[in-house]
Chain A
Amino acid sequence: MILFSILAVLSVVFSLLVVTQRNVVHSAMALAATLFVVAVLFLTLNAPVIGVLQILVYAGAIMILILFVIMLLNPTSIEARPAAWWTLGSLAAAALFIQFIVLLSRRPLSSAGPPVPDSFGGPESIAQSLFTDFALPFEVASVLLLVAIIGAVTLAQRQR
């Protein structure tokens, strides 16, 4: 519980930093820190594979590409944020917050869930469900990634 509180506060603080920082690289680093803290949260919730993949894919690959693009373009000054988007975003966030509060107040929260089998969240159980129950979504997702790769290559060639 103490660990969860620390991680929760850290993730909220870093998420706020992502939005409030004026420097793009600072924002990106705060986002990377947020992703890392969320990965640790996954580790504490009996989901080690998801946690490690979170670091590997989001913090290690996607954020690096974002940083790469920022470094190549090197934006010195950021364009002013239009007030309309600011309000819309804040309204959407507030609506989501109220929705969560309503939903959580309806159901009593209990810390004791059903017992979790030992293999839960391990590589074997995730592989089992990926290749049996969720074989079709898994394959569809890989086709989607392939389409994205081919699309990227085509776009890059057209510009030449």
Chain B
Amino acid sequence: MMVDFAIVAAKAFLVLFMVLNLAGVLGWVERKGSALIQDRIGANRASIFGFAGMGLVNTLLADPIKFLSKEDFIPARGDRLLHTLAPCLALFPALVTFAVIPFGDVLIVGGRDINLQVANLNIGILYIFAMASLSVYGIVIGAWASNNKFSLLGGVRGAAQMVSYEIAMGLSVIGVIMVYGTLEPQAMVRAQGDLFWGWLPAWGVIRQPLAFLLFFTAAVAETKRLPFDAPEGESEIVAGYHVEYSGGKFLMFFAGEFAEVVTAAGLVTTLFFGGWQVPYLLRDGFHFPWGDALPLAPLAVTILQVAAFSIKALFFCWLQILLRWTLPRFRYDQVMRLGWKMLLPAALVNVFITAVWIVVRERPST
């Protein structure tokens, strides 16, 4: 009993530790990435000893110190309680969503099966969408409590954008759920270990390519980052919903945004890129399609799987940062048109085609 509790606590700590730290690292990667893409020297103020590695370490230390030592400003006619609550509401959904994302298969230690996932829910996907739907509160409440017209405009834009893209995101996943026949993320990842024609990994992106494009677009829109950052829109509404935030509370919004990036990357990996699956790696080692086999110890297999999940997730974090510095901001009406008139019908078509395909495949003879 105590051991079970300790294991769950350790897993929760590990996941939160990784996500929050990765959020901090991504803040630095984003600045470096922007400098790289804009062909300038960037983010080198904290590189005290001159080489890039120190820049990362110092930025990770300097950022929190700077944010936490700043004045915490609350607008005079704002709402003190809700102004303080809003950053917590923004950070909370991004952190708890990771609970159902599996980062490895079952690890067997001392006769005890440890599922490398914080919580194995049989309604995992529904839980993810429930938590994603709560992430709107942070920006809406923050915008309203600031008593600032630019904040309010940003909050209204953000609420409309996130509610719209949640629908496209939910519908794009329905095709995936139909193919795997489960709502459990761990079972979905297991199903992606199959092979097509004996050599092609049956990852979600191969079974549902359209759903992947729709889901990734909607997920980027949900993180409110470029090209979907109309709620912040610096050139129009200063900084949108967090214009009246400073210090630690702004840091929470900032960390929440990067935690959302990490969570979105983890979700895309789990649903479409095989999660912790390494091609041809089974529980006892590699089984290559040309007949060779390379037996491995169970611990080595687990380490490889966790590494595979991390690498895939990091790739999608990097891809989101690349997108953010490559594409210009969409106008607000373009955001709405893309969500409602392109993504939503395409997701419906995808659900229809998937349904037809499943029915045809199940009755080949008649």
Contact = CB atoms under 8 A, between A and B. Distances in A.
B343 interface: no
B122 A48 contact: yes
Interface string A27-48: 0010010000000000000001
B178 interface: no
Interface string B128-141: 01111110110011
Interface stretch (A8-16, A63-71, A79-87, A146-154): A63-71
A72 B156 contact: yes
Contact of A52 (B127, B141, B166): B127
Best-surrounded residue of A23, A26, A60, A71 (most CB of chain B within 10 A) = A60
Contacts of A122: 122-123
A60 B123 contact: no
A25 B123 contact: no
B256 interface: no
Contacts of B145: 25
Contacts of B152: 71, 74
Interface in A46-67: 48-49, 52-53, 55-56, 59-61, 64-65, 67
A141 to B, nearest CB: 18
A68 B132 CA distance: 17
B183 A29 contact: no
Nearest to B135: A60
A123 interface: yes
B23 to A, nearest CB: 23
B141 A29 contact: yes
A101 B129 CA distance: 38
Nearest to A23: B79
Contacts of A65: 163
Interface residues of B, number: 30
B168 interface: no
Contacts of A59: 133-134
B355 interface: no
B130 A67 contact: no
Taking residues whose C-beta sits less than 8 angstroms from the other chain, chain A's interface range is 20 to 34
Contacts of B136: 60, 64
A31 to B, nearest CB: 12
B79 to A, nearest CB: 7
B123 A71 contact: no
Nearest to A25: B144
A64 B156 contact: no
Given A29-B141, A71-B152, A122-B122, A60 B82 contact: no
B82 A123 contact: no
Interface in B106-158: 121-123, 126-127, 129-134, 136-137, 140-141, 143-145, 152, 155-156
B163 A64 contact: yes
B160 interface: yes
Contact of B123 (A23, A32, A70, A123): A123
A123 B182 CA distance: 9
B130 A55 contact: yes
A47 B20 CA distance: 32
B130 A29 contact: no
Best-surrounded residue of B79, B130, B145, B163 (most CB of chain A within 10 A) = B130
B126 A56 contact: yes
B361 to A, nearest CB: 20
B126 A49 contact: yes
B130 A56 contact: yes
Contact of B122 (A32, A55, A60, A123): A123
Contacts of A60: 129-130, 132-134, 136, 166
B141 A25 contact: yes
B159 interface: yes
A65 B137 CA distance: 11
B143 A71 contact: yes
Contact of B126 (A23, A53, A61, A70): A53
Nearest to B134: A60
A68 B156 contact: yes
Given A48-B122, A71-B140, A122-B122, A56 B159 contact: no
B247 to A, nearest CB: 23
15 contacts: A23-B79, A25-B141, A26-B82, A29-B137, A48-B121, A48-B122, A56-B126, A56-B133, A60-B130, A64-B133, A64-B140, A68-B140, A68-B160, A71-B144, A123-B122
Across chains A and B, which 6 residue pairs bring their CB atoms closest together, nearest first? A60-B133, A55-B130, A56-B130, A52-B126, A52-B130, A64-B136
Given A55-B130, A70-B144, 13 more contacts: A25-B79, A26-B82, A29-B82, A29-B137, A53-B126, A55-B134, A56-B133, A60-B133, A64-B140, A68-B140, A68-B160, A74-B152, A123-B122
